[in-house]
A and B are shown apart, each in its own frame.
Chain A
Amino acid sequence: MSNPVLAQFMTEFLAGRLRLVDLTQTLAPEFPTIVLPPEFGQAWPFRIEEISRYDERGPAWYWNNFSMSEHTGTHFDAPVHWVSGKDLPDNTVDSIPVENFIAAACVIDVSAESAENPDFLLTIDYVKRWEEQHGRIPERAWVLLRTDWSKRVTPKEYLNMAEDGAHSPGPDAEVVPWLIRERNVHGFGTESVGTDAGQAHHLNPPYPCHYFMHGNNRYGLQCLTNLDQLPPQGALIFAAPLKIRNGSGSPLRVMAIVTNG
């Protein structure tokens, strides 16, 4: 006998009481990719070349070749991405249990603070205040940081580079282990180019979100958009990376299911 929950889901969905929100940026060559010091290896940006378009290269069909890194565009970070997660079980995109690709989401809106201070860091106190207003973060939920960074349309505004590097918001070094230990979160997601703040190499440890999340077999999502369309609590996230053998991450389509109205 079929489970009535799924049938009810479809009924609600078709009636428009449930809605899908696309949290994915369009893959385009000009979309910025994280920039490392030039002497390091660099992630490839998205590149696309037409194979044929109903022409002499293929008369009835249109298709493209594309290339990019595992960490280009809206993408998923697997635990193996960071050295702290290198020896954990099921730490690659192809070995992560599929159940982990569905999880609830808490959306913490720091857009006002980020507009004022591009180096804004999320703290434990901030999260506690957020919980007083919106309820406790449930177990195994994504924590998504809404910064409105996705509304910065030019690469210059989005990467926000100064002579001392990038300036974009992220979590501080205390809140990340706290979220794991005290709230058992599923992972952390951001609108900016990485889960960590632009200046996170100066935190202790450097890149704390990568370090602690992946070191505890948790996941990352970055370059998200449309977080302003999600409620603080109650959205469900479907985020399944490509099944790349031993992959450290992957571009993906991130969908949120929310109740309408």
Chain B
Amino acid sequence: MTDPLVKPKKKNPVERTRLPTRPPAPRSRAAQGLTRAAAEGVFEMQTCGDCGALQYPPREVCHQCLSERLVWKDADPRGTLIATTVLRHSNDLYFRERLPWKVGTVKMAAGPSVVAHVHEDCAEGGAVRLALKLDRSGQAVLHALPEKDTPNMNDAPQLRESTCDPKFRRVLVSDGKSAMGLAVARAMLDAGANAVFLGDPTSWKTVKAFDALVASDPRVQPVELDVTDTDSVDRLAASIGGKVEILVNTAAYLRDGGILGRKDVILARDAFEVNVLGMMRLAQAFGPGMGFRAADGSNNAVAWVNILSIHALAALPARGAWSASMAAALSAAQTLRAEFAGAGVRVMNVFPGPIDEEWEQLTPPPKLAPAAVAKAIVQGLQGGLEDVYVGDIAEELRTRLRENHKAVERELGQ
């Protein structure tokens, strides 16, 4: 079993902060198939569409029949750990700071033998399950995990390098007065967060659930934060920017209405002001500090979470202005991901279907409970994911977008 993670001590303010380094990042284009699977938390391997051979590492052609018809398919993650070694020396800047590091060879039940990072609870000769995870470079790596969960296994330092577990980390929830913000805050507390900074964009307005949450747990600290106000964002970052290890942007503006049927773009502007520019303001204020602390001990800054919508990928014309803001927010999030890559801070985008909250009152069920979305966020962070699709509607739309995006466009427009 893994030693449980101990609550990190208060930072010694006169010691130099370790700066982030990255494990080797270059990959072939073919290998990015692994990245896509790891980003979504699935286990897929490159498979030949002609002879059916499964291959690793990914290549341009099939290693058996030279076919170019290669597809990515779910694969059996089971295998046997046939050899391990513990690295005690490395010339790589990233690994030399994290030694000792256990690696090994796994003979997959599906065929290939692969080199993987090996969890400390795996024994040589024993059964393991492989998982594709993103490393701090944002690239897919294979982790050999115990066949069955072991106590505290997520606390293993090697695995924690690939995940963004809220345990003992401090989380900023940008809008803590919405149903979603409250649910995310509760989920983070349940997941063992050390502190939750609960953003309050409307200090003049009493929200009983907000006050109750603040009163219920000493780890919750209410903070004034309005993402439409640069000054407010800057002031908060100046005060707690060095303590935020996970930022969940729950600030959201959802209103019905298309484009042709209105006389003004005020609704669209208000949506962009919160959903897009708000994210950018938060990033400009909190991003540099998080990047600086991306390798700062066991409670290093690890993740930036955007709660978007599945309609970031396909417009819902009945909410056209809002949909446009979601698409723009996704685009901005992709840029943030590239900009955070150097530090290794993960940008996780969450794509839920309709959520059961006041502005979705007239949306027919099924609707996601905010708590269900919050749970998916925590699981995504624990798994180290990059893209999280929540609920049947989101999953279905995504599948159908791949099959025929024109059909989706026509149907959402009806």
CB within 8 Å of B: which residues of A? 28-30, 32, 35, 41-42, 45, 47-49, 154-156, 158-159, 161
A-B contacts, 22 listed (Cβ < 8 Å): A28-B231, A29-B229, A29-B230, A29-B231, A29-B232, A30-B229, A30-B232, A35-B204, A41-B266, A41-B267, A42-B270, A45-B228, A47-B228, A47-B229, A48-B230, A154-B203, A155-B203, A155-B204, A156-B203, A156-B204, A159-B204, A161-B206
Give CA–CA (A41, B206) in the complex, Å.
21
Chain A residue nearest in CB terms to B229: A29
CB under 8 Å from chain A, chain B span 153-186: none
- For residue B360, give the distance in angstroms from its CB to the closest CB of chain A: 14
CB proximity to A under 8 Å, residues B238-287: 266-267, 270
Known contacts A41-B266, A42-B270, A161 near B232 by CB under 8 Å: no
Q: B205 at interface (Cβ–Cβ under 8 A)?
A: yes
Bound complex: CA of A155 vs CA of B203, how far in Å? 7
CB-CB nearest in chain A for B232: A29
- List B residues at the A interface (Cβ < 8 Å): 203-206, 226, 228-232, 266-267, 270
Which 10 pairs show the lowest CB-CB distances between chains A and B? A155-B204, A29-B229, A159-B204, A156-B204, A29-B231, A156-B203, A155-B203, A49-B230, A161-B204, A161-B205
Q: Given the complex of chains A and B, what is the CA–CA distance between A74 and B226 in angstroms?
A: 21
CA distance A156 to B228 in the complex (A): 19
Give 11 new A-B contacts, CB below 8 A, not counting A48-B231, A49-B230, A156-B203.
A29-B229, A29-B232, A35-B204, A41-B266, A41-B267, A45-B228, A45-B229, A47-B229, A155-B203, A156-B204, A159-B204
Would you give the shortest CB distance from A236 to chain B, in whole angstroms?
Answer: 34
Q: Please, how many angstroms separate the alpha-carbon atoms of A32 and B203 in the complex?
A: 10
Residue ID in chain B nearest A166 by CB atoms: B204
Q: What chain B residues lie within 8 Å of A42 (beta carbons)?
A: 270
In the complex, what residues of B have CB within 8 A of residue A158's CB? 204
Q: Which residues from chain A contact B230 at a C-beta distance below 8 Å?
A: 29, 47-49
> Cβ of A28: which chain B residues have Cβ within 8 Å of it?
231
Chain B, Cβ-Cβ closest to A159: B204
Bound form: Cα–Cα A30–B201 in Å: 10
Residues of A within 8 Å of B232, CB to CB, are 29-30
Tell me which residues across on chain B come within 8 A of A41, comparing CB atoms: 266-267
| Residues of the B chain whose Cβ atoms lie less than 8 Å from the Cβ of A35 | 204
Question: A32 and B266: CB pair below 8 A?
Answer: no
The smallest beta-carbon distance between A223 and chain B, in angstroms, is: 14
Q: Given the complex, which residues of B lie within 8 Å of A32, measured CB to CB?
A: 204
Chain A neighbourhood of B204, CB < 8 A:
32, 35, 154-156, 158-159, 161
Q: Which residues of A contact B267 (CB under 8 A)?
A: 41
Closest chain-B Cβ to A179's Cβ sits at a distance in Å of 30
Bound: A161/B206 CA distance, A: 8
**Complex CA distance for A49 and B233, rounded to whole angstroms:** 12
Write the chain B residue with the least CB distance to A157: B204
Chain B residue numbers with a CB within 8 Å of A154 are 203-204
Q: Bound state CA distance, A35 and B202, in angstroms?
A: 11
The CA of A47 and the CA of B203, in the complex, are separated in Å by 17
Q: How far is the CA of A28 from the CA of B226 in the complex (A)?
A: 13
Shortest C-beta distance, B212 to chain A (Å), equals 16
A156 to B231, CA, bound (A): 19
* A48 to B231 Cα, complex, angstroms: 8
Residue in chain A with minimal CB distance to B226: A29
Task: Across the interface, name the chain B residue whose C-beta is closest to A162.
Answer: B206
Distance in angstroms from A245 CB to nearest chain B CB is 16
Central interface residue in A28, A47, A48, A49, by most chain B CB within 10 Å: A47
Question: What distance in Å separates the Cβ of B263 from its nearest Cβ neighbour in chain A?
Answer: 11
- A45–B201 Cα distance when bound, in Å, is 13
A158 vs chain B, min Cβ distance (A)? 7
**In the complex, what distance in Å separates the CA atom of A183 from the CA atom of B27?**
83
- CB-CB < 8 A to B205: which residues of A? 161
Give, as a whole number of angstroms, the nearest-CB distance from A165 to chain B: 11
Contacts of A161 in B (CB 8 A): 204-206
A35, B206: Cα distance in complex, Å: 14
CB nearest neighbor in A for B256:
A39
CB distance from B277 to the nearest CB of A (A): 10
Residues of B within 8 A of A156 (CB): 203-204
Bound together, the chains give a CA A161 to CA B228 distance in angstroms of: 22
Contacts of B203 in A (CB 8 A): 154-156
Inter-chain CA distance A49–B232, complex, in Å, is 12
A161 CA to B202 CA in the complex, in Å?
Answer: 11
**Bound-state Cα–Cα, A155 to B202, Å:** 9
C-alpha gap A48/B230 in the complex (Å): 7
Tell me, in angstroms, the Cα distance from A32 to B204 when the chains sit together: 9
Across the interface, name the chain A residue whose C-beta is closest to B230. Answer: A49
Which residue of chain B has the shortest Cβ distance to A158 in the bound complex? B204
Within the complex, the shortest CB–CB distance from A222 to chain B, in Å, comes to 17
Q: Which residues of A contact B228 (CB under 8 A)?
A: 45, 47
**What's the Cα separation between A35 and B232 when bound, in Å?**
19
**Shortest Cβ gap from A53 to chain B (Å):** 13
Bound Cα distance from A139 to B361, whole angstroms: 53
What's the nearest-Cβ distance from chain A to residue B280, in Å?
A: 11
Question: Hey, which chain B residues are within 8 Å of A29, CB to CB?
Answer: 226, 229-232
How near does chain B come to A34, taking the closest CB pair, in angstroms?
11
Chain B residue at minimal CB-CB distance from A160: B204
A29, B230: Cα distance in complex, Å: 9
Residues of B within 8 A of A45 (CB): 228-229
B226 to chain A, nearest CB (A): 8
Find chain A residues with CB under 8 A from B229 CB.
29-30, 45, 47
The distance in angstroms between the C-alpha atoms of A141 and B4, with both chains bound, is: 76
Residue from A30, A154, A161 having most chain B Cβ neighbours under 10 A: A30
A154 to B232, CA, bound (A): 14
Minimum CB–CB distance from B15 to chain A (whole Å) comes to: 32
User: Which residues of chain A are within 8 angstroms of B206 by Cβ–Cβ distance?
Assistant: 161
How many angstroms between the C-alpha atoms of A35 and B205 in the bound complex?
Answer: 10
